[in-house]
């Protein structure tokens, strides 16, 4: 531990200066900085290939810490920093990935700080560990951030379950045969547009078939919205259709109309947020379905970090580099896009979209009492958020609705 006078401008490592860690209170007291904190920040910078790390809060006097936190936290000891890590593209690196790398490097206190998942707390406390997510409160949320956020070490994703997505186009489905074939989940179209009359013609049959045969299911709403307000109305209609039912998987905003992407990145992002926020306010876990190319070009990072992502890319490998929980990888029986040579799904006539799932959504959704499920009576090991935000905002964004578990 070293102490520096308030005006000290020492370059304490290759990329960090004393002044970056000065208390934000405005007074002229000394600055405490633990040398091991700086060592680990340099290693984190290298591990993430950062263009820079911005320290948004370093040392805090007890008075300032009491104003923003508890008054006796790690910041008052000079062992903590709140940071934003930037990639070589100049954009913030998701706090989810930062937490994972910080865990690898031996930081003993680590937590995402914001609902946008762009700011991270790290510390080198000498006693115990804190792996947190301040979107969920101040308690420990996991013992492994890789599992919690559904991020796979060494970029080698492990498939948890295989599923399908269906709509009116597949006609009457024999869900008993689907179940017997080993399909572990289904995403069913609930409808499209703004009118209740636009409910999918097979939605009720597909939902009943899933439930009677024990196939966990989620739903998606095909959008034609051209503004945030229209997307919000679509969400309200969707809620009317799915009301009174239970879903083990998220409720997705299906964004794929070319005319929507012509509106540009901001409007597309605003529409996703409007739809998903409306769904979340009703107690559902919401997400976005979108193709890889448009996720990269037309959806803001804050939206991609905030909601569950179901990425569409017919390919033998998904090239999307962001976080995602489900990948739509092909179509059974399609002459060009059946990359796994599935041929057909018993119980489904004709072609059918195929998906890989990487996150245990049923566990997350039931644990938090979302999507029509009642919350278990037993206390969670996650501290209840002290917030007036919606259920989903409290436990996620994207996942942090979440104890995302991969086995």
Mind listing the pLDDT tens digit for each residue in 82-139?
Answer: 999 999 888 999 999 999 999 999 999 999 999 999 999 999 999 899 999 999 888 8
64 φψ region: left (φ > 0), alpha (ψ -120 to 50), beta (else): alpha
Q: What is the pLDDT of residue 279?
A: 97
State yes or no: pLDDT of 394 exceeds 50: no
Q: What is the pLDDT of residue 407?
A: 34
User: In the structure encoding, which two tokens stand for residue 362, read together?
Assistant: 């049923």
Q: How far apart are CA 259 and CA 193, in angstroms?
A: 14
Q: 2-11, 157-166, 202-211, 294-303 — which is least confidently predicted? A: 157-166
Q: How far apart are CA 311 and CA 330, in angstroms?
A: 11
Mean of pLDDT values over 161-168: 96
Mean of pLDDT values over 361-386: 73
Say if CB 320 and CB 299 are below 8 A apart: no
Say if CB 181 and CB 354 are below 8 A apart: no
Mean of pLDDT values over 203-219: 98
Q: How far apart are CA 356 and CA 185, in angstroms?
A: 9
**Cβ atoms within 10 Å of 118's Cβ, excluding its own:** 20
> What confidence category does residue 195 fall into, taking pLDDT thresholds of 50, 70 and 90?
very high
State yes or no: pLDDT of 74 exceeds 60: yes
Closest residue by Cα to residue 21 from 47, 48, 53, 56: 56
**Phi and psi at residue 16, to the nearest 5°:** -130, 140
Say if CB 257 and CB 219 are below 8 A apart: no
Q: What is the pLDDT of residue 150?
A: 77
Average pLDDT of every residue of the chain: 89
Q: What is the pLDDT of residue 317?
A: 85
Q: How far apart are CA 273 and CA 231, in angstroms?
A: 9
pLDDT tens-digit map of 214-262:
999 999 999 999 999 999 999 999 999 999 999 999 999 999 999 999 9
β-pair type (109-112, 130-133): parallel
DSSP state of 17: B
pLDDT tens-digit map of 290-345:
999 999 999 998 898 889 999 999 988 888 888 899 999 999 878 888 877 777 89
State yes or no: pLDDT of 402 exceeds 50: no
Closest residue by Cα to residue 141 from 395, 407, 392: 395
Q: How far apart are CA 97 and CA 148, in angstroms?
A: 11
- Residue ranges and CATH numbers for the domains of the chain are 2-128 (3.30.1380), 156-365 (3.20.20.80)
Question: What percent of the chain lies above the pLDDT cut of 70?
Answer: 91
What Cα–Cα distance (Å) separates residue 76 from each residue in 15, 80, 81, 402?
22, 8, 10, 30
> What confidence category does residue 384 fall into, taking pLDDT thresholds of 50, 70 and 90?
very low
Closest residue by Cα to residue 401 from 361, 373, 374, 372: 361
Q: What is the pLDDT of residue 156?
A: 52
Q: Is 102 exposed, middle or buried (0-12, 13-18, 19+ CB in 10 A)?
A: buried
């Amino acid at each position: 531990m070293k102490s520096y006078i308030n005006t000290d401008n020492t370059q304490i490592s290759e990329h960090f200066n004393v002044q970056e860690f000065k208390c934000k209170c405005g007074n002229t007291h000394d600055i405490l900085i633990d040398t091991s904190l700086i060592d680990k920040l340099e290693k984190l910078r290298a591990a993430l290939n950062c263009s820079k790390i911005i320290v948004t809060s370093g040392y805090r006097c007890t008075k300032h810490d009491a104003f923003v936190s508890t008054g006796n936290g790690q910041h008052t000891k000079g062992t903590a920093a709140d940071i934003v890590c930037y990639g070589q593209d100049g954009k913030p690196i998701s706090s989810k990935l930062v937490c994972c790398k910080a865990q690898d490097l031996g930081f003993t206190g680590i937590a995402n700080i914001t609902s946008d998942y762009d700011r991270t707390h790290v510390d080198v406390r000498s006693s115990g560990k804190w792996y947190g997510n301040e979107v969920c409160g101040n308690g420990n949320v996991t013992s492994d951030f890789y599992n919690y956020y559904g991020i796979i070490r060494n970029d080698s994703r492990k498939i948890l379950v295989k599923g399908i997505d269906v709509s009116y186009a597949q006609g009457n489905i024999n869900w008993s045969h689907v179940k017997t074939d080993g399909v572990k989940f289904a995403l069913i179209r609930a409808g499209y547009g703004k009118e209740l009359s636009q409910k999918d013609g097979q939605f009720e049959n597909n939902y009943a078939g899933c439930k009677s045969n024990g196939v966990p299911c989620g739903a998606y709403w095909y959008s034609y919205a051209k503004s945030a307000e229209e997307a919000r109305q679509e969400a309200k209609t969707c809620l009317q259709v799915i009301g009174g039912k239970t879903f083990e998987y998220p409720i997705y905003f299906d964004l794929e109309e070319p005319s929507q992407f012509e509106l540009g990145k901001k409007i597309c992002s605003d529409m996703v947020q409007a739809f998903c926020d409306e769904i979340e306010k009703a107690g559902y876990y919401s997400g976005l379905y979108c193709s890889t190319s448009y996720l990269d070009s037309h959806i803001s990072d804050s939206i991609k970090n905030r909601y569950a992502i179901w990425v569409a890319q017919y390919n033998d490998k998904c090239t999307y580099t962001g976080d995602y929980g489900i990948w739509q990888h092909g179509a059974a029986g399609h002459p060009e896009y059946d990359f796994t040579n599935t041929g057909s799904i018993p119980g489904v006539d004709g072609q059918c979209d195929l998906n890989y799932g990487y996150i245990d959504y049923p566990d997350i959704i039931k644990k938090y009492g979302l999507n029509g499920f009642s919350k278990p009576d037993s206390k969670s090991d996650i501290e209840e958020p002290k917030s007036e935000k919606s259920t989903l905002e409290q436990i996620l964004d994207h996942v942090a609705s979440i104890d995302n578990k991969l086995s």
